[in-house]
Structure 1
């Protein structure tokens, strides 16, 4: 059985003749995660203003949210437990985050207090930490994505627990780097597959 293409998060779906029949959904999920993470953390770092929140919420629902969930479902079809769990979980994270912030404005729920938001982000930090441990069996680029994301969640949780604007700003800059690392990995997977060789190292 021949393995084709370069995929950090997916194994190839192969027919009896050895021909690949499914595309790699990982770049879609990585781009949805990376682009939305960069935009949110541009706001957290005070590089873009609060008027950008509508744009960030839209990205969170559709590209960071739905696109990642779709990528996770496709990873399920390819038999990749890690990719399915990661993309589906973080896709639903973005949708849940938008809901937490928008439900109060719609009269559907009370506003979430800072301590509760800290616990919400902390739980996601724990999830990401054990996912990071799993990446130690994978490539360096993926380790950087999950390692920096673990740090990001805990920084944001600490910022909410303490009310520290400085920590939130630091988290914003760290989050920009995290998002860019995911975008890089998405580009690497697309380029390496398109050219059939290692164009961008992972």
Structure 2
């Protein structure tokens, strides 16, 4: 999700005010978030095969994770607290997502299989138990992220309408994923309807996030508001 130049001291204004002349960190990190959202949305809807879904992990680690995290630290140095909080939080999220896919989930499967050795349980039953455990853990993992995202959504009310829309879509995506994983079958299969719906919402979210990146970059380089973001009046 993303924030925008309607925040204090971002874009040209920030560079004019900052002696260190730190660039506009938002667009650097938000582009990574948009890319990861689009890639994961395509994977979740089934538009991308299993091999392609594995390939996106390189993007979630480097572009969504490392680049966004570094951009967040630059935003913090520039005094853009909301931008910094968002970028570092979701940079960590994408790094965590990569770690879950590459290490944590396979480790859970291996642990369940090892613990079931000698108990008489079949390999199929143990695989089903591992799948169910992973789905439940993912659901609870997302509950915590929903709390974080809800906080950002409230804070975004002081930015602009497009940013608020992006955070709202992210909230909806997380809720649908929670329904999919917490309602998983006994073998760990997520609720397909909720899972696919989450994927489509995430694709829309990616489009909104890419629009914010486009607006921030184009409005700055062209030096006029070609792509409106509809700033919201700050609370009195």
Q: Aligned partners of 1:10 and 1:66: how far apart in 2?
A: 25
User: Is the Cα–Cα contact under 8 Å of residues 8 and 142 in structure 1 kept in the other structure?
Assistant: no
Post-superposition CA distance 1:121-150 (Å, at most 9, x none)? 121111101100001111111111111111
User: In the alignment, does 2:142 pair up with 1:121?
Assistant: yes
Partner residue of 2:24? 24
- Give the TM-score normalised by the residue count of structure 2: 0.77
DSSP-derived class of the 1:201 partner: coil
Verify: 1:67 aligned to 2:61, yes or no: no
Partners of 1:201 and 1:20 lie apart in 2 by: 28
Residue of structure 1 equivalent to 2:108:
110
- Distance of 1:9 and 1:125 partners within structure 2: 23
* Residues 93 and 75 (structure 1), Cα distance of their counterparts in 2 relative to 1, 3 Å cut: same
Aligned to 2:80: 80
The one of 170, 177, 193 aligned to 1:149: 170
Larger C-alpha radius of gyration, 1 or 2? Answer: 2
Question: Which moves more between the two structures, 45-54 or 79-88?
Answer: 45-54
2:206 pairs with one of 170, 179, 190: 179
Distance 1:65 1:21 in 2: 24
Q: Assess, with a 3 A threshold, how the Cα gap between structure 1 residues 49 and 127 changes in structure 2: closer, same or farther.
A: same
Residues 10 and 75 in structure 1, CA contact (< 8 A), matched pair in contact too: no
2:159 to 132, 138, 144: 138
Gaps of 5+ in 1: 1-5
- Local SS of the residue matching 1:136: helix
Find 1:191's aligned residue among 218, 223, 228: 218
SS at the partner of 1:110? helix
Q: CA RMSD in A?
A: 1.9
Deviations 1:144-187 (A, max 9, x none): 11111111111111110112111100000000011111111001
Deviations 1:18-61 (A, max 9, x none): 87822101111110000111001101011111111222100100
Q: Which consecutive unaligned segments of at least 5 residues does structure 2 have?
A: 110-132, 185-190, 230-236
In structure 2, what is the equivalent of residue 42 of structure 1? 42
> Could you tell me the TM-score, scaled by structure 1's length?
0.89
Residue in 1 that maps onto 2:227: 200
Partners of 2:201 and 2:5 in 1: CA distance: 26
Aligned length: 193
Q: What is aligned with 2:121?
A: none
Tell me the secondary structure at the aligned position of residue 170 of structure 1. helix
Q: CA deviation at 1:195?
A: 0.7
List per-residue Cα deviations over 1:103-137 (Å, max 9, x = no partner): 157x6x32462111001012111110110000111
Which residue is equivalent to 2:5?
7
SS at match of 2:227: coil
